[in-house]
Chain A
C-alpha cells in the first residue's frame, strides 16, 4: 500500500488539485444560441458562464422573431476544446434554450460588429483621423470643431485595428456592440 506522504504539521494541501490533462490549446469560438425571449433567460446564460468559470469575450442579444418570442444570443468565448464542448452542452441543458450552434466549427460564417468611436483633436491629427476613417470605410456620424464620432462595422479585428490607430490621434471613448454572426450559404 502506498504510504500517505504527509509531513506532520504541513500546511500545503489544496483540496481540489484534480485537473485532468486534456488538450490545453485555447480556442476562440463564436456560438449562436436561440432562446425563448422570456424574463431571466439572459441571466441564465450569463450565470452559467460565471458560475462555471467560462469566459465571455463578447455577447449580444436581441429578439429575432417577435411572433415566435425568440431571441438570438451571440457569444464569443475562449477555452480548450473540452471547455468549449462543455459550454455547448451546458447551454443545451437550459430549458428555454432551443438551439446552440458553434459557428466556428459548423462551416464558414460571417461575423460583424459595429462600433462608435469618439476622437477629439485639432489640426493635423484631426485630418489624419479623417483620412484613416476613410480608408477603413468608417463614416462620420457626429462632428464638432474639436471632435468626430465615427461609425465602423466589420470584424472585431478590423475594429481593434481602427481603434489602435485612433488612439494616438485622440481617441476618447469607444462603444462596441459585440459580435453578430451567421453561417454562410443557405
Chain B
C-alpha cells in the first residue's frame, strides 16, 4: 500500500535504511521494480539526499527510515529542510499501535520529536487512513511554502490490509494556500517601480521553489526594467550570474556592490526572500531610505522582522506574471534616466573589486581554487553542493549559477555534513550530470560514511575538499571577534583523504601546488566514478567581504587590512 501510494505520487527513488519497524515496507520494495531504493549509511544522509534530489529536480524527495534511532537520526535533515523550505516526505516506522507508550524496543515519540521540525506530521493508526494520509502528505509538502513532512507508520498498520485509495486531484481541501497575489498591491508595486530612482530586486529561495517559470518571469522583468538584482544564498541561479543586471549575492559575506545597493536604494523589491539576519545585518540600519515591497507565499514571513510598505502574499510565479502584465499594460515605464545614474553609482562600487584577494604562487588560495573550478567547469551540465563554512561562502562568491536548481547548500540551518549526501541525491536524480560537492574537510567528515553509498550506486560525485586543516569559519570569527583565542578550531588528526578514497573503493588525489591545480581538477572531472580531491589550501585565509553580525550593510569589512586596525581598538562590539 505504501509503495503503491508512492508510485501514484510519481516517486521514482527512495533514500532509506531498514530496521525492525519498517520491514513490511521493505518487503513491498523487494517485490517491485518501479521504485529505486538507495541504501544510505546513516539516516541523516538519507534525508539530505532527499533534499538534494528535491532541490535539483523541483520534485519532492522521499526518505524511509525505521523507528526510534532511525527517526531521531532524521531530525537534523528535517530541520534543515524546514529552514530552507525544501519539499521532502519522510516515512518512519513505529512500534505497533498496541505497544505505543510502553517504552517498547526502539520506540520514540517521533511525531512529538519532529513536530517542531516538520511542516506537518502524522501518526497513522488505521490502515484505511494510510493511503489518503500519504497523498495529503505529498500535497502539504509541495504546496504553499514547501517543507518537510513526516508520516509515522506503526508496524501493525503496515502489516494489516486495507482499502487503497488513489490520490485525488488538487490535493486535500483543508490545505489550500493562497497563490494569487492581490492585484491592488501588485499595481501599487508597479506604480512604485515606475518612478523609483534607485530600485533593487532582492530575491531568494522562493523564486526557485516556485518553479522554473518563476525564474523565467524574473529574468524577463529584470531585463525589461534594467533594475539591478541581488540574491540571497538560497536564490542563486534564479537570475543568471552572467546577466547584465546581476550584482552578486548579498548579506554577511555578500558582495560590496550588492550590500551597498541594498543600503542606498529607494525601492527594495523582495521576491521570495525572508529578511534573514544574515542578510539584513543590524535591523535599525537596514536599507534605511527605501520603500519596501515583499512578495512571499507565507503570510507569516511578511512583517516578521522588517516592516514593509507593500506586502503581497502569493506564489512568486503567479505574482510575477500579474506584475509583468500590469506593468506592460501601463506602458512599460521606468525612470530610465535615474536608473542609469544609479548604475553609474553601482559601477563605482563594483570598481572596489571586493572579491580581490592576495594571490600566491606557493600555496593554493581557496578563492583561486574556486576560480579555477569555475573556469574549468562552467559550460558543463553542472550541479554544485556545498558543506558549511568558509568554503561555502567562497563557492557562493566565485562560482556562477546560470540556472535555478543547480545550487544545493544548507542556508537556514547551516548544517555541516549536508553536502556529501546532498550531492549523491542530486547525482541519483541526474546520473549524467557533473555533480561537485565543494567541501571543507571538517564538514565533510561529518557524513563521510555516505561515500560508501556513492560507490555502491556508482554515483560519480566529485568531492572537492578545500582542506585548510581548520574549522575555518570558526577560526575566522575567533580571529576577528574573540581576540584570536583559537579555541578548538583546529582539524586535528585528519585522515589521509586519498587513502580514504581507496578504502571506499573509489579514487582520490591530493594537490597542494597552484601549478598542478588545473590538471588535478581535470582529472577529477574526467574520472568515471566518485572522486575525492583533497585541495590543500592556505590555512589562515579569511572570507571577505564580511558584515559582522550586528553591523549595518555599509559597515562591511573588505579585507584583513580593515580588521587589523580595529582589533585592539577601544570598546567591544555587539556581534
A-side residues, CB < 8 A to B, are 1-22, 36, 39-40, 43-44, 47, 51, 82, 85-86, 89-90, 92-96, 98
- Provide the residues of chain B in CB contact with A9, threshold 8 Å: 483, 485
- Provide the residues of chain A in CB contact with B563, threshold 8 Å: 4
Name A51's closest neighbour in chain B (CB-CB).
Answer: B116
Chain A facing B: main interface SS: loop
Interface pair B174/A4, CB less than 8 Å apart: no
Distance of A3 Cα from B277 Cα, bound (Å): 21
Interface pair A36/B282, CB less than 8 Å apart: no
If A13-B481, A17-B550, A44-B115 touch, does A5 touch B571 (CB 8 Å cutoff)? yes
B257 to A: closest C-beta gap in Å = 14
Q: Does B119 contact A (CB under 8 A)?
A: yes
From B175, B299, B556, residue with most partner A Cβ within 10 Å: B299
Distance of A21 Cα from B549 Cα, bound (Å): 17
B-side residues, CB < 8 A to A, are 111-112, 115-116, 119-120, 123, 140, 145, 174-175, 277, 280, 282-284, 298-300, 302-307, 480-485, 548-551, 554-558, 562-563, 565-575
Distance of A15 Cα from B572 Cα, bound (Å): 13
Interface pair B282/A13, CB less than 8 Å apart: no
Query: Which of B115, B120, B485, B557 is in CB contact (< 8 Å) with A43?
Result: B115
B101 to A: closest C-beta gap in Å = 13
Query: Which of B174, B283, B307, B484 is in CB contact (< 8 Å) with A95?
Result: B174
Interface pair A17/B483, CB less than 8 Å apart: no
If A44-B115, A98-B174 touch, does A14 touch B483 (CB 8 Å cutoff)? no
If A6-B483, A7-B570, A20-B283 touch, does A89 touch B558 (CB 8 Å cutoff)? no
If A14-B575, A17-B574, A43-B115 touch, does A5 touch B569 (CB 8 Å cutoff)? yes
- Provide the residues of chain B in CB contact with A85, threshold 8 Å: 303
If A21-B284, A43-B115, A44-B115 touch, does A13 touch B572 (CB 8 Å cutoff)? yes
From B120, B175, B551, residue with most partner A Cβ within 10 Å: B120
Interface pair B174/A14, CB less than 8 Å apart: no
B533 to A: closest C-beta gap in Å = 34
14 additional A-B pairs beyond A1-B556, A6-B571, beta carbons within 8 Å, are A4-B569, A4-B573, A5-B569, A7-B568, A8-B484, A8-B568, A10-B572, A13-B574, A15-B549, A16-B277, A18-B277, A18-B550, A89-B302, A89-B304
Distance of A94 Cα from B174 Cα, bound (Å): 11
A21 to B: closest C-beta gap in Å = 6
Residue contacts A-B, CB under 8 angstroms, 6 given: A1-B557, A1-B558, A6-B572, A7-B569, A20-B306, A89-B304
If A17-B550, A20-B283, A44-B115 touch, does A89 touch B299 (CB 8 Å cutoff)? yes
Name A36's closest neighbour in chain B (CB-CB).
Answer: B174
Name B112's closest neighbour in chain A (CB-CB).
Answer: A43
Name B545's closest neighbour in chain A (CB-CB).
Answer: A1
Distance of A20 Cα from B281 Cα, bound (Å): 11
A98 to B: closest C-beta gap in Å = 7
Interface pair B123/A5, CB less than 8 Å apart: no
Interface pair B572/A7, CB less than 8 Å apart: yes
Interface pair B282/A47, CB less than 8 Å apart: no
Distance of A67 Cα from B307 Cα, bound (Å): 42
Interface pair A19/B300, CB less than 8 Å apart: no
Distance of A109 Cα from B523 Cα, bound (Å): 73
B108 to A: closest C-beta gap in Å = 15
Distance of A2 Cα from B277 Cα, bound (Å): 20
Name B275's closest neighbour in chain A (CB-CB).
Answer: A20
B230 to A: closest C-beta gap in Å = 20
From A21, A85, A94, residue with most partner B Cβ within 10 Å: A85
- Provide the residues of chain B in CB contact with A6, threshold 8 Å: 480-481, 483, 566-567, 569, 571-573
Distance of A100 Cα from B283 Cα, bound (Å): 29
Interface pair B300/A86, CB less than 8 Å apart: yes
- Provide the residues of chain A in CB contact with B556, threshold 8 Å: 1
Distance of A22 Cα from B554 Cα, bound (Å): 22
Distance of A96 Cα from B307 Cα, bound (Å): 28
- Provide the residues of chain B in CB contact with A13, threshold 8 Å: 481-482, 572-575
- Provide the residues of chain A in CB contact with B550, threshold 8 Å: 17-18
Name A44's closest neighbour in chain B (CB-CB).
Answer: B115
Query: Which of A14, A16, A22, A90 is in CB contact (< 8 Å) with B307?
Result: A22
Distance of A13 Cα from B480 Cα, bound (Å): 12
Interface pair A19/B283, CB less than 8 Å apart: yes
From A13, A40, A82, residue with most partner B Cβ within 10 Å: A13
The 6 closest A-B pairs by CB, nearest first: A89-B300, A4-B566, A3-B566, A10-B572, A13-B575, A20-B283
From A3, A9, A44, A47, residue with most partner B Cβ within 10 Å: A3
Name A96's closest neighbour in chain B (CB-CB).
Answer: B174
- Provide the residues of chain B in CB contact with A90, threshold 8 Å: 300
Distance of A51 Cα from B119 Cα, bound (Å): 14
Distance of A40 Cα from B118 Cα, bound (Å): 13
Interface pair B300/A16, CB less than 8 Å apart: no
Distance of A3 Cα from B556 Cα, bound (Å): 9
- Provide the residues of chain A in CB contact with B480, threshold 8 Å: 4, 6
A80 to B: closest C-beta gap in Å = 12
Interface pair A95/B140, CB less than 8 Å apart: yes
Name A39's closest neighbour in chain B (CB-CB).
Answer: B123
Interface pair A93/B298, CB less than 8 Å apart: yes
Interface pair B571/A3, CB less than 8 Å apart: no
Interface pair A2/B555, CB less than 8 Å apart: yes
B44 to A: closest C-beta gap in Å = 22
Distance of A107 Cα from B145 Cα, bound (Å): 31
Query: Which of A12, A20, A40 is in CB contact (< 8 Å) with B111?
Result: A40
- Provide the residues of chain B in CB contact with A4, threshold 8 Å: 480, 548, 551, 557, 562-563, 566-567, 569, 573
A71 to B: closest C-beta gap in Å = 14
If A6-B480, A39-B123 touch, does A1 touch B562 (CB 8 Å cutoff)? yes
Interface pair A95/B119, CB less than 8 Å apart: yes
Interface pair B303/A82, CB less than 8 Å apart: yes
- Provide the residues of chain A in CB contact with B574, threshold 8 Å: 12-14, 17
Query: Which of B116, B284, B548, B566 is in CB contact (< 8 Å) with A20?
Result: B284
A136 to B: closest C-beta gap in Å = 42
B351 to A: closest C-beta gap in Å = 15
Distance of A15 Cα from B282 Cα, bound (Å): 12
A79 to B: closest C-beta gap in Å = 13
- Provide the residues of chain B in CB contact with A12, threshold 8 Å: 572, 574
B59 to A: closest C-beta gap in Å = 21
- Provide the residues of chain A in CB contact with B112, threshold 8 Å: 40, 43
From B140, B282, B298, B572, residue with most partner A Cβ within 10 Å: B572
If A10-B483, A18-B277, A95-B140 touch, does A5 touch B573 (CB 8 Å cutoff)? yes
Distance of A12 Cα from B557 Cα, bound (Å): 20
Interface pair A93/B300, CB less than 8 Å apart: yes
Name A2's closest neighbour in chain B (CB-CB).
Answer: B555
